[in-house]
Amino acid sequence: GIQVEQSPPDLILQEGANSTLRCNFSDSVNNLQWFHQNPWGQLINLFYIPSGTKQNGRLSATTVATERYSLLYMSSSQTTDSGVYFCAVELHNDMRFGAGTRLTVKP
């Protein structure tokens, strides 16, 4: 199956800081999504982004499919952004999740 690596595994930020999370994958994919898992365990869709760039408020994401990576940018982080960020990639019904980046935003 596809290998998915996320970096960094852990990230601690001061409120207001910016950050970039990375997702590398081992094969061509036809789907890629970013999720936020909040401290209560709920999985929230952030972006469906098999290629290109999208923005939503303080978040934006870029996927370069030919180079097999995706980046999630967060600006002006808030304490409510804390949680785990997952990248999930898919090829032919085989969707694989990375191990996630655990983000802690301190006030």
Partner 1 sequence: NAGVTQTPKFQVLKTGQSMTLQCAQDMNHNSMYWYRQDPGMGLRLIYYSASEGTTDKGEVPNGYNVSRLNKREFSLRLESAAPSQTSVYFCASRGQVSTGELFFGEGSRLTVL
By rule CB under 8 A, what string of x and - marks binding of each residue 6-35 to partner 1?
------------------------xx-x-x
For the CB of residue 46, give the shortest distance to partner 1 in the complex, in Å: 10
Max Cα distance, the chain (Å): 42
Report cis status (omega within 30 of 0) of the bond before 107.
no
**Interface residue with partner 1, options 19, 54, 68, 90 (CB under 8 A):** 90
Grouping H, G, I as helix, E, B as strand and the rest as coil, residue 41 is: coil
Contact predicate 50/62, CB 8 Å: no
- Per CB under 8 A, residues contacting partner 1 are 1, 4, 30-31, 33, 35, 41-43, 45, 48, 86, 88, 90, 92-100
